[in-house]
Chains A and B, each alone.
Chain A
Amino acid sequence: MSDINHIIQKVKIENRDALLEHEAKEVLKAIGIHIPPSILANNEQEAVDAADSFGYPVVMKLMSPDVLHKTDAKAVIIDLNSSEAVRHTFQDFMNRFQGVNVAGVLVEKMVEKGIELIIGTNTDDDFGPVILFGVGGVLVEAIKDVVFMMCPTTKEQATDAINEIKAKVILEGFRGLPAVNKDELADLIVKISSLAWEYREDILEMDINPIIANSSGLHPVDARIILK
């Protein structure tokens, strides 16, 4: 937990209200959530070394407090299959994002395709910290297939929520997709809801989106934490 306080304090001291993705993922790691292997590279060689150590393909993301909507800014490049591609992407980022404040480039082992889910939290005027679970990905706001719960949530409530989304059939092995481990998913919801509850004085909103569910388990590949 002291890791979490440390990260939050650092962000506050820097006068930011949003954690960068790698910071948000550190917070998730601190509460025992499994995150795809990643390294924050400060130069081209570090990026290549990281990619080589994970094995390909990898994803590279620019970490900058000035670029929070990374996809819109083309600051996320996926499916990089060689050290040349990693070098090229690093240079490309440095060229395109001159003049912005760059904390580094996150090199992350790419997760195999699967079903995209979301777990997020928000602070409601009436109910305090609430958590949502649902169908994730970039279309989440259009599809709106989510269920809200009050934080902290029990595993029983989380399990109910999982079974309540309209598209729940896709969690049960739909058209050849692997079935999602609902037990593990419920645990994940409970952990994140406890985080939102315990840090309710600091955390305003969270998005863990997407969480990719594939045959090897649940993989939070992007995370955003906004402070109060």
Chain B
Amino acid sequence: METILKENSIKAKLIAEYESSKKSLFGSLLIRDNAIENFSRLGIPQRKSEEYKYVNMELALKGDYSFETNASLTSKQIDHTQFLKNAIVVVIENGVFSKDVSKISNLPQGIKISSISDASSDKIFETHFSKYADVVNDPFAALNTALSKGGVYIHVSNGAIIETPIHIIHVSSANKNLIINPRNLVVIESASQVKIIESFETVDAKSKVFNNALTEIVVEENAIVDHYKIQNENDLGYLLSTTVITQKKQSVFSTNTIILSGSLVRNNLTIVLDGEFIESHLNGLYLTNGSQVVDNHTLVDHRKPNCNSNELYKGIIEDKSAATFNGKIFVRKDAQKTNAFQSNKNILLSDDGTINTKPQLEIYADDVKCSHGTSTGKLDPDKIFYLRARGLSETSAKKLLMHAFASEVVDTIKIEELREYVEGEIAKRFE
């Protein structure tokens, strides 16, 4: 009985917040009303819910929260979060696009960046906004759609090849408990090429921040997109990051999710392959410690024939942390000649850690090649012995093996500067 009351109160608070603030929010009220209706039907997922079996969202949302967002950070304060020397920097502070600290002057040709609240009247924006995220069944997508106060809209026009990477930095800096709902839309028109990095950081935070971020990415025909997500919030960060990608004919999309820290990280990654001859790559690496909870949900939805998808998620689990991988490959009736591969590998280093993995195949077409594999184990004693026989100490032998384990994912990062940064962060972790 008690839990029901609690759940109700969080839910009720969120709905009340919508009612009181809806007049000041950007965009179509119709979409928002519909979303909040869905949210009030779905509620905060309970532990019984199959999708949230291993992560306690209620616990994460416990306590009092404020919805006030104010951008107060100076560029000096966030300087260290800009780990790329040469990048188009978009800063989203506490869920709202912060123009002052972003670096979006002198944009290369073919790219348009604006606050999502300024884009609502844009025609292209309208055709794509809120068309891909599942607001009917996903409570957090519905919540984000209803409550979002800001975010960024990026448009890359036909044939534009953008060499400079776009770095979207989500920073949270709260002095009281905060729920934020940043919302981004990226439209990549046909035959264009772009690299996008999303990073999540906490700066000068004194209180906990629940970040319910949602990014929709549209990849049109023949476009090539590299997407990276670096999640490096501190213990006050509770992050639920939903990314929905829709790919059209002959496009190539690769994404890399690197989870380094954060009290709770839940990623919902959905890729819809809505065209023929599409290529998708999903890579992920999670290094968990302390009492961290990390939960990666991925869905690869093969809708059309002749597509390839490839997924690799790896994790190293330490201390009392818990990691979950839940990946689904869904092959529809029409998607003949699909090749879909999925692999999840984990190393468990402590007796108090937990690994849950659920790689799933749901296949309705017969002429396909699909496979998944998962393995969990400790560091191979034979390998440690081999290295020790060559004079390495036990610690450095283990470190070396962990680096090697992680490098399979890290090596897929194509931006050299970013790869070096990630390698550095990992090295710090293994010290």
The judgment on whether A and B are partners is no
Which A residues fall within an 8 A CB radius of B? none
